Amino acid sequence: QRPEDLVPEQLRRLDLYDQPRLQEGFVEIDERHLKTASLILEGITCAACVWLSERHVRTLPGVVEFHVNYSTHRARVRWDDSRVRLSDILKAIAAIGYVAHPYDPGRQDALYRKERQRALRRLAVAGLCAMQVMMLGWSLYAMDYDTSDVEDMRTFLRWVSALLTVPVVLYSSQPFFLAAWRELRQGRLGMDVPVALAVILAFVASLWATVTHGPDVYYDSVTMFAFFLLTGRFLEMGARHGAGQAAEALVRLLPATATRLRDGAEELVAVAELAPGDRVLIRPGETVPADGTVVDGRSSVDESLLTGESLPRARGLGDALVGGSTNVESPLEMRVDKVGDDTVVSAIVRLLDRAQAEKPRVALLADRVAGWFVGALLVVAVAVAAWWWPIDPTKAFYVTLSLLVVTCPCALSLATPVAVVAATGSGFDVAWRSDLPIGSGLGSGAAANASMVLAALT
């Protein structure tokens, strides 16, 4: 059999993204002939996944830049096409367990829904099983005395607890095991390694105690530990999705079409076809499609989405209009001055993307410390086990297991990205819906407000 026949069909399809005609829709080329593309990464579950993917892709020859936005799971990659192909980058991402494809707003919304539903199912299974195991656990605690009358019932309740714990370990805890395996395969230690060790060791020890009629089982601890961790990640995911959707809403401020005036006739064109100097008719209730200047008419314009000011502002001949605002009263004729990336909305989108993509110093510090912390934790766990073994071998395992659970670095690796995501979402509200002074002109004020978010996060 030929080696190329062993390549999965999914990886073979990635070669299609190297075609120039296909790249026209999502790849930009700068003056240095470097290509830039926005990608969506599927399978990102925590900050450690972002760190792992960034470290792995940046080692590829020809990759100049690779950043993953933890809020939106969007990645921005810049590469030298003469040294590495886009398909090679996508295959490298797939090699560490993630799926990457060109950014598509509609597909990202679908991924959000899919991710939320999957996380909710895992959380529901863990929660329901944990409640049942806890109820059985109380019964087992009540039977904590040695008599032949309760031995059979104790054994029965242990086996029922084991059966209820199996879905939590095999299904709900699956993200911990997959993330830990990816980290170990890359020769790195992340917070999911001690989590996976604690879950699997506690379950195996409890199963062994059930079979051998040992003194203690920890099914309730396994289920509740997984449930609490999944709850934290589910809440974090909600904050991340909210911040990501808020940023994506900026792009939707501009309409898809506009009424262009040419030789006295009206024609409906896509906003992407507008060019500086075009004349555009904006009827009452329509959204201004680009930045420009009023050349005919007088009306009021609702700029609340940009400034937070609830009252419409009067606009007449010679006044500036900003794309994304809404005409309220009378028709206006506008001369287009700026389109595309030069508009105020695009500038603020870039500021917010930068605020989400660039990690603040505290996040970089947490990324560096987490790996060393996990390594030190495993060394201490081995030392504790070695210390307790000659003293009391029956307690060595359980003391070591308790150490792994209690010192889990979830707070270190999870709290920092959650704080950054929450700050970005709150900063979005401050930048766009505050009553702060606008300064000279709407555009400069809105961009200044958004830049405050960037300054606060960096």
For residue 5, what pLDDT is reported? 44
Please provide residue 28's backbone torsions phi and psi, each rounded to the nearest 5 degrees: -110, 145
pLDDT tier at 35, thresholds 50, 70, 90: confident
Cα–Cα distance between 245 and 235 in angstroms, integer?
A: 15
pLDDT tens column, 170-189? 999 998 888 888 878 777 77
Sign of the CA dihedral with 144 first, then 145, 149, and 154 last: positive
Mean pLDDT of 263-292: 86
For residue 181, what pLDDT is reported? 85
Q: Which residue has the tokens 């989400």?
A: 356
- Could you tell me the two tokens for 165? 């714990």
Decide if pLDDT at 169 tops 50. Answer: yes
Mean pLDDT of 56-85: 84
Mean pLDDT of 251-270: 80
373 compared with 330, residue with greater pLDDT:
330
pLDDT tens column, 280-289? 999 988 888 8
> Which of 5-14, 20-29, 92-101 is the least confident region?
5-14
Decide if pLDDT at 3 tops 70. Answer: no
Residue 191, number of CB atoms within 10 A of its CB: 27
Decide if pLDDT at 34 tops 90. Answer: no
Sign of the CA dihedral with 14 first, then 20, 24, and 27 last: positive
Mean pLDDT of 197-205: 87
104 compared with 217, residue with greater pLDDT:
217
DSSP sequence for 332-359:
EEEEEEE-GGGSHHHHHHHHHHHHHHSP
Q: Which residues sit opposite 262 in a β-bridge?
A: 265
> Which of 9-13, 216-220, 386-390 is the least confident region?
9-13
363 compared with 52, residue with greater pLDDT:
52
For residue 406, what pLDDT is reported? 72
Mean pLDDT of 35-45: 81
Query: How large is the C-alpha radius of gyration of the chain?
Result: 28
Q: What is the mean pLDDT of the chain?
A: 77
Helices (H) then strands (E): counts for the chain: 15, 14
For residue 367, what pLDDT is reported? 61
For residue 50, what pLDDT is reported? 78
Decide if pLDDT at 435 tops 50. Answer: no
pLDDT tens column, 98-121? 888 777 666 667 777 888 899 999
Mean pLDDT of 21-38: 78
> Which of 22-31, 45-54, 334-343, 432-441 is the least confident region?
432-441
373 compared with 3, residue with greater pLDDT:
373
Decide if pLDDT at 162 tops 90. Answer: yes
Q: Is 245 helix (H, G, I), strand (E, B) or coil?
A: helix
Decide if pLDDT at 129 tops 60. Answer: yes
Mean pLDDT of 40-64: 81
450 compared with 268, residue with greater pLDDT:
268
Cα dihedral 128/129/131/132 (nearest 10): 120
Q: Which residues sit opposite 326 in a β-bridge?
A: 287, 302
For residue 120, what pLDDT is reported? 92
For residue 456, what pLDDT is reported? 44
The reported pTM is 0.62
For residue 11, what pLDDT is reported? 59
Decide if pLDDT at 268 tops 90. Answer: no
pLDDT tier at 130, thresholds 50, 70, 90: very high
Long-range contacts of 365-372 (CB under 8 A, 24+ apart): 366/47, 366/412, 366/413, 366/416, 367/47, 367/51, 369/412, 370/48, 370/190, 370/191, 370/409, 370/412, 370/413, 371/188, 371/189, 371/190
Mean pLDDT of 121-144: 87
Decide if pLDDT at 440 tops 70. Answer: no
Q: Where are the alpha helices (DSSP H) in 14-67?
A: 20-23, 47-58
pLDDT tens column, 391-432? 887 778 778 877 776 766 555 555 655 666 666 556 555 544
